[in-house]
Structure 1
Amino acid sequence: MVTAGRSRAAAGLTPLLIAGAVTAAVCLWLLVQTGDGVLIGYLGGPIALVGAVYGCWRIGSSIVVSRPVRSFWRQLSHASVLLLIGSCVSLSLSNNNAGLSLVAAAPNVLGIVWVVAAMARLPLGENSLLGWSRTLLDLTTVAVAGTLIFWYVVLSYAPPGVDLESRAAAGTVGVLGLVALAIIGKASVMPNAPIDALALRLLAGAPIVGATIAVVLIAGSDGPRLAMSVLTGPLVALSFAAAAWRQRHVLAHPSADVARRHRSMWDLLPMLGVVTTAALVISVSSREMSGRERAVIVGAALIVVCVVARQLLGLRENKRLLVGIRTQQVELERLAMTDPLTGLANRTRFGAALEERLAGHRAATVLLIDIDDFKVINDTMGPALGDQLLYQVAQRLRNNSVVTELPARLGGDEFAVLLDADEIDVAEDAAARIQRALSEPFRVGEERLLAHASIGVAVAGAGDSADEVLRNADIAMYAAKEGGKAAWVRFEPRMRQEVVNHARLGSELHNAIIRNELFLLYQPVFDIATGRLHGAEALVRWKHPARGFVSPGDFIPVAERSGLIVPLGAWVLREACRQLAAWKAEYGPGAIKAINVNVAVRQLRESGFVDEVAAVLAEYGLLPGNLVIEITESSVADGRQVRETLNALHEMGVRLALDDFGTGQSSLSLLRAFPVDVLKLDKSFVDGIADGEDRGRLAVAAAVAQLAEYLGLSAVAEGIESEAQLDRLRDMGYRLGQGFFMAKPLPANEAGALMAADPVSVIN
């Protein structure tokens, strides 16, 4: 990355080095030349201007810069070509002693006109008819004053024999040079202009050279005329190349100090033209008028000078006011576009940059970055430490993004990076680079934290809007989270259809809850030592009127993502408790003592969940001990709100079962930190233990049974599918188990029938 940056910097400096070297060589030639071989001196102009053309063209053809900047420098490259043609014409006429002709000056005149046209496209003040009228009046004032100066002053020093065509050509070049100088000066003081102010001031060297050569060619002696003739091309090229280098430097280093835009003598050129014209009027009229008439002219000129001075004082006062307003405006714009915590671009600036890039049909790729499990860190360690972590994540993104990429914080723990590329491999390399940068531990206060991220990659396609690209990146980011987190996923069109299908299924699930399309099955839990029915786990099922039976693996994730898991879980809790109360009324002491209900982390985050459980138990006349709430390890580690909810439930008397035990990374620490009553050995450890070949599964299964006995907890083996597994688990010390070998999930009436069945027949 550093090597590439250096090579780009060297490429940007090459035109400036060429123009500088040629200018120095021509100056050296002027010192040693003897009057012969003038052609050699004129060779410098075309060579230097080729470098200037290349320098301007590089910026004008770059896709990573904004459209106004690209358009301006492209037009300057065209002007450089015209000046190059003019330099070649001068080279071809170098051995002729003919004066400056309109034909020879035509390419240079067109080049200056092209520069003026490029400047006119920049913001030069108020973008209205009044603003443009002011600009036009300023330029007209400079043009008229320049014409008068050349006509009455410069041409008066012309030696005898200079033809009218040479005078007209020189005057045209000189006046256009002054006009170009005035418009460059006006553009360089405009606030928030797209072109760097110092680059514009460096460009001013070209019209100054043009005006100077016009004066020297008419009124100068042979020596200065030759010097300016051979130096004009290299000096103009040096001006263009220096300006292009400055612009490339600012584009490559946006945080570098930018030249301040303030008023200068250039901005006073129109007023200087008025004063100069008044002086000419006095000088010319004094030769032919009487004393009284001369006094009137002098008085009129003095009034003009006073008016100009008064306007200057007014401008100075206005300037003082405008500086404060502009300073506040710049600060407000910075605040409106910057995230206050991290200093990165915020969502507004990121969206505007993405929209601009898409509007200009430029390549764009969005990386959407979400910190995995940030809520756990924020809730566990406090928001102050969470903010410090977000700040450090932002610094990692800034330090690992190249200058053409825009990192931003969109809100919360969500970040984004805008790339100026649409190649898949470039986007994937950038995602992998950011993943590596964020994988290193963060030093936050006294803590060292790991904060992995899930990244969604979306490459902008033809016709995509900014919202669509961000939405695609968001879809891909959620796919990365569902795939296991700490990974990146590239968006594919099929993902959008999956989201649509999930949304449609979510809408239908919402209706299903209202229309009572859901029902419960009950997975029996047996005492595998006695064969007696011990309990049952309530499992929700959905019979869709059109789709038929919908798998829980399809609609449960939709419910969790959409938030429907809260009303769905509330329905399951109420229905399971109602059914347990019905069994107790029907079977009396033979009924199971408790019902197991799975609860999602989203429910545990609800502040009123504990009260909801208490109300349901009271409604159906149940005790807290009649309810077992099954939770996963990831739910337990979710944050402070979940911990408080679980502690409140445990204190109430509700039993807590840790489902899928052994599959997480922090199972043992959870047993010390949270009130757990039941451990449910995950099915993955039950599979394959019958033959005894998988020693790892055997060891884990045995360890869980011993751990539960040591801690005074109940241990339940899930997913028992054979008698051999049942026997092996019984030998390990397990008392409770569930699985298809003993009973599949059953409707309420069939599960109730088991409560009256013979214990031996239940197992067999």
Structure 2
Amino acid sequence: MTASTVRRASAGLVPMLVASAAGLAVCVWLAVHTGSSVLLGYLGGPIALAAAVLGCWKIGSNIRVDRPVRSFWRSMSHAGVLLFIGQCVSLSLSNNNAGLSLVAAAPNVLGIVWVVGAMARLPLGDSSAAGWARILLDFVTVCVAGALVFWYVVLSYAPPGTDQDTMIAAGTVGVLGLLALAIIGKAAVIPHPPVDSLSLRILSVAPIVGAITAVLLIAGTDGPRLAISVLTGPLVALSFTVAAWRQRHVLARPAAEPARHHRTMWGLIPMLASVATAAMVISVSAREMNGRERAVIIGAVLIVVCVVARQLLGLRENKRLLTGLRTQQVQLERLAMTDPLTGLANRTRFGSALEERLASHRPATVLLIDIDDFKMINDSMGPALGDQLLYQVAQRLRNNSATASLSARLGGDEFAVLLDDEEIDVAEDAAGRIQRALAEPFKVGEERLLAHASIGVAIAGAGDGADEVLRNADIAMYAAKEGGKAAWVRFEPRMRQDVVNHARLGSELHNAIIRNELFLLYQPVFDIVTGRLHGAEALVRWKHPVRGLVSPGDFVPVAERSGLIVRLGSWVLREACRQLSVWKAEHGPGAIKAINVNVAVRQLREPGFVDEVAAVLAEYDLLPGNLVIEITESSVADGRQVRETLQALHEMGIRLALDDFGTGQSSLSLLRAFPVDVLKLDKSFVDGIADGEDRGRLAIAAAVAQLAEYLQLSAVAEGIESEAQLDRLRDMGYRLGQGFFMAKPLPPDEAGALMAADPVTVNN
């Protein structure tokens, strides 16, 4: 048992200790009472019952507890409130020597009725119509027998002059106490009840105390009547708090095999009621009937007893068969609500808990957690180690979540936490705590791994449904990933509109590919020493019939998120190769030797991508050396399948260019491990190097040039916008460059014209 579970189990001790202290104080008062004011004696009841209400409510408000258990203990806390009011009424009437009136007994009667209702909602055995009929008959038997006992026995000992209201109030409390005892007995003997069986048995103390109180208030002497009057509240409260503590202790324990069902005497309560009634019938008959009539009545009673006994014997075998079925049912229900790998709640249970909170208009906040780059870890290290990592992530979520929160694994590497709060500070604190917990390295097998997470935070608003809250959290989580991962983002309404706009743009992009609204521009790549045109990079553009020119920064991310990037990338590859074929036919040896095409990681994951490239080259009579595929560092590190695709392309003779070099996290290791032919220095390192003041950029730009020369790679400087930048880069050893200073992205005819023109003038 972890420290957190021990703390949760021991938290219920406080109400139990308060109730015990109140009961002990009342006992001490009874021992020293000298007959003066009894007000102090009655104070223990309200104090103890207030503690009982708190103890029951803590379980009933914990969203990590199953719904039937929460509902039962919430009802018990409501019953405790009613009994608390009854004790306050008794306290106010303590010095008035008033009898037990209906008005004074009303809160206690309602409290007992509430307890009976809470018990009645628990499983009580066979839920068929016949089963409910048998249960109803048992309860009617107990009520009738209890009423007869009070009417013929208890009330016969009432002092002369006892008013009718007092007798009715006592009889009502007593009969309801017996009924509650019978229902507790039914619920406690059901195999694997949702509420702990021992807790239910402990709760039976309360109706027993109620029945005894009713008897002594009518038939007892002054001393016992005073003692039971002041002790009723503490005793009932103690049974509530001890039962609640026991329930919390059971919930804090790890799940164990269900205990075997043992025989019990609780099922004999209806039969004992029948026997008691039969005894009274015989007693009354003995005084009022002759011998033959008495014999008939006694015989009838014996026949009834024999029939009841026969039914009990028959039910014994049925219970044995049902026990096995119910055990399997409990196990299946537990499996249906639990993730088998991590032991956390699964999507079904999480959704149910969220729906319940929202339906009852209680606050709720969802934290949706996705492990960054888990696919790469799973592919490179294998699913077995991936599962171990997910299990450890689940344990950290469990240990770093608030007591009243519910942690779940929704599927794959996606987790969620449900908070019973709607305060922004609480949600942000929980997200930050989880981020810090997951930032610590994980010991998986012999490896130590870092597994950061992106978290989306969504606070439920008025009228939100469970699906909507989860969708909002999902939108925020993707926003966190797009912002650089390893971060959390709180959902804002504008994000939903962004998603709608992206979806609409994605649909229009799909149509744009079909309707030929896309076109390519070509960014020339020059030899910055000779000024000759060396190559060109194909850049996709979109001319929307209504929006006009749509920026690639707007539609390319939409294509990547929607999966259209595969189709878009195929179109760009085919169109670029077609255009190179046209240029070669028009300009012969003066045409550029190769065309650069950007390829997304999603394309590299496609099993047939290598075959597609080979087919396009063959279709336009091009050689592998006529194509340069530009990829990003994150693409190279995506996983085994991507690495194999790049290796196959390289072996075919296609050159690979590492775009935006220097901005990733593992550039040097990539150069050693993967077949790279060209390094393209990112524009961010070219900006500001002309004046020489940014020594950091100067150092990185120079280091990339030297590294490329040492590894016998081509180095291309991107984003050259001034002659000073060009001169500085050339001095560093760069041979190739592109940028607006030499030429902007050009249409095919203007790019072709450069191939026939004289070299661009450069200053040496």
Same fold (TM over 0.5): yes
- The yes-or-no answer on 1:531 pairing with 2:531 is yes
Change (3 A) 1:205 1:598: same
- The yes-or-no answer on 1:92 pairing with 2:95 is yes
Change (3 A) 1:253 1:50: farther
- The yes-or-no answer on 1:564 pairing with 2:567 is no
After TM superposition, the structure 1 = structure 2 runs for residues 244-263 of structure 1, keeping only pairs within 5 Å, are 244-246=244-246
- The yes-or-no answer on 1:312 pairing with 2:312 is yes
> Could you tell me which residue of structure 1 aligns to residue 180 of structure 2?
180
**What SS class does the counterpart of residue 274 from structure 1 fall into?**
helix
Contact 1:692 1:698 in 2 (8 A): yes
Query: What displacement does 1:127 show?
Result: 6.2
Contact 2:82 2:107 in 1 (8 A): no
**What SS class does the counterpart of residue 94 from structure 2 fall into?**
helix
Contact 2:44 2:230 in 1 (8 A): no
Query: What displacement does 1:442 show?
Result: 0.7
> Could you tell me which residue of structure 2 aligns to residue 43 of structure 1?
40
Q: For 1:416-443, what per-residue CA distance to the aligned partner results, in whole angstroms no more than 9, with x for missing partners?
A: 1111111111000000000000001111
Query: What displacement does 1:266 show?
Result: 3.3
Aligned AA (2:601): V
How many positions carry a matched residue from both structures? 756
Distance 2:15 2:338 in 1: 36
Contact 1:46 1:87 in 2 (8 A): no
Contact 1:252 1:403 in 2 (8 A): no
Distance 1:743 1:593 in 2: 18
Change (3 A) 1:280 1:550: same
Query: What displacement does 1:126 show?
Result: 6.0
> Could you tell me which residue of structure 2 aligns to residue 679 of structure 1?
679
Query: What displacement does 1:408 show?
Result: 0.9
After TM superposition, the structure 1 = structure 2 runs for residues 225-236 of structure 1, keeping only pairs within 5 Å, are 225-236=225-236
- The yes-or-no answer on 1:724 pairing with 2:724 is yes
**What SS class does the counterpart of residue 451 from structure 1 fall into?**
coil
Contact 1:457 1:473 in 2 (8 A): yes
Change (3 A) 1:39 1:130: farther
**What SS class does the counterpart of residue 688 from structure 1 fall into?**
coil
Distance 2:36 2:181 in 1: 30
After TM superposition, the structure 1 = structure 2 runs for residues 64-75 of structure 1, keeping only pairs within 5 Å, are 64=62, 68-69=71-72, 71-75=74-78
Aligned AA (2:35): G
- The yes-or-no answer on 1:419 pairing with 2:452 is no
**What SS class does the counterpart of residue 323 from structure 1 fall into?**
helix
- The yes-or-no answer on 1:635 pairing with 2:638 is no
- The yes-or-no answer on 1:211 pairing with 2:211 is yes
Contact 1:472 1:496 in 2 (8 A): yes
Change (3 A) 1:718 1:29: closer
After TM superposition, the structure 1 = structure 2 runs for residues 425-504 of structure 1, keeping only pairs within 5 Å, are 425-504=425-504
> Could you tell me which residue of structure 1 aligns to residue 599 of structure 2?
599
- In the superposition, the TM-score normalised over structure 2's length comes to 0.92
- Mean alpha-carbon deviation: is it higher for 649-658 or for 691-700? 691-700
- Mean alpha-carbon deviation: is it higher for 539-548 or for 308-317? 308-317
Gaps in structure 2 of 5+ consecutive residues: none
Aligned AA (1:571): W
Distance 1:399 1:103 in 2: 50
> Could you tell me which residue of structure 2 aligns to residue 274 of structure 1?
274
Distance 2:48 2:256 in 1: 26
Distance 1:688 1:234 in 2: 80
Query: What displacement does 1:273 show?
Result: 1.0
Distance 1:496 1:100 in 2: 63
Change (3 A) 1:115 1:63: closer
- Mean alpha-carbon deviation: is it higher for 248-257 or for 434-443? 248-257
Change (3 A) 1:521 1:108: closer
Contact 1:572 1:597 in 2 (8 A): yes
After TM superposition, the structure 1 = structure 2 runs for residues 720-759 of structure 1, keeping only pairs within 5 Å, are 720-759=720-759
Change (3 A) 1:163 1:698: closer
Query: What displacement does 1:637 show?
Result: 0.6
Change (3 A) 1:657 1:217: closer
Change (3 A) 1:414 1:742: same
**What SS class does the counterpart of residue 755 from structure 1 fall into?**
helix
Query: What displacement does 1:168 show?
Result: 5.2
Contact 1:206 1:239 in 2 (8 A): yes
Q: For 1:124-181, what per-residue CA distance to the aligned partner results, in whole angstroms no more than 9, with x for missing partners?
A: 456676555444322221121123333444456x387474746555444332321222
Contact 1:742 1:762 in 2 (8 A): no
- The yes-or-no answer on 1:55 pairing with 2:58 is no
Contact 1:146 1:178 in 2 (8 A): yes
Query: What displacement does 1:702 show?
Result: 1.5
> Could you tell me which residue of structure 2 aligns to residue 549 of structure 1?
549
Contact 1:278 1:304 in 2 (8 A): no
**What SS class does the counterpart of residue 436 from structure 2 fall into?**
helix
After TM superposition, the structure 1 = structure 2 runs for residues 83-122 of structure 1, keeping only pairs within 5 Å, are 83-85=86-88, 87-88=90-91, 91-94=94-97, 108-122=108-122
Contact 1:48 1:238 in 2 (8 A): no
Distance 1:22 1:138 in 2: 36
Query: What displacement does 1:316 show?
Result: 2.0
Distance 1:160 1:436 in 2: 72
Distance 2:217 2:259 in 1: 35
**What SS class does the counterpart of residue 388 from structure 1 fall into?**
helix
Contact 2:49 2:233 in 1 (8 A): no
Distance 1:107 1:633 in 2: 73
- Mean alpha-carbon deviation: is it higher for 273-282 or for 691-700? 273-282
Query: What displacement does 1:277 show?
Result: 2.0
> Could you tell me which residue of structure 2 aligns to residue 626 of structure 1?
626
Contact 2:45 2:230 in 1 (8 A): no
Q: For 1:588-608, what per-residue CA distance to the aligned partner results, in whole angstroms no more than 9, with x for missing partners?
A: 111111111110000000000
Q: For 1:683-708, what per-residue CA distance to the aligned partner results, in whole angstroms no more than 9, with x for missing partners?
A: 11111222222222222112111111
Contact 1:44 1:233 in 2 (8 A): no
> Could you tell me which residue of structure 2 aligns to residue 76 of structure 1?
79
Change (3 A) 1:77 1:163: closer
- In the superposition, the TM-score normalised over structure 1's length comes to 0.92
Query: What displacement does 1:411 show?
Result: 1.1
Distance 1:708 1:173 in 2: 93
Query: What displacement does 1:353 show?
Result: 0.9
> Could you tell me which residue of structure 1 aligns to residue 347 of structure 2?
347
Distance 1:102 1:551 in 2: 80
Contact 2:656 2:676 in 1 (8 A): yes
Distance 2:461 2:506 in 1: 29
- Mean alpha-carbon deviation: is it higher for 20-29 or for 60-69? 60-69
- The yes-or-no answer on 1:665 pairing with 2:662 is no
Contact 1:82 1:111 in 2 (8 A): no
Q: For 1:269-313, what per-residue CA distance to the aligned partner results, in whole angstroms no more than 9, with x for missing partners?
A: 112211222233334434555554443333222211111112212
Distance 2:129 2:114 in 1: 23
Gaps in structure 1 of 5+ consecutive residues: none
- The share of aligned pairs that are identical, in percent, is 78
Change (3 A) 1:270 1:396: same
> Could you tell me which residue of structure 1 aligns to residue 332 of structure 2?
332
Query: What displacement does 1:506 show?
Result: 0.5
Distance 1:232 1:8 in 2: 29
Query: What displacement does 1:647 show?
Result: 0.5
Change (3 A) 1:256 1:32: farther
Query: What displacement does 1:187 show?
Result: 3.7
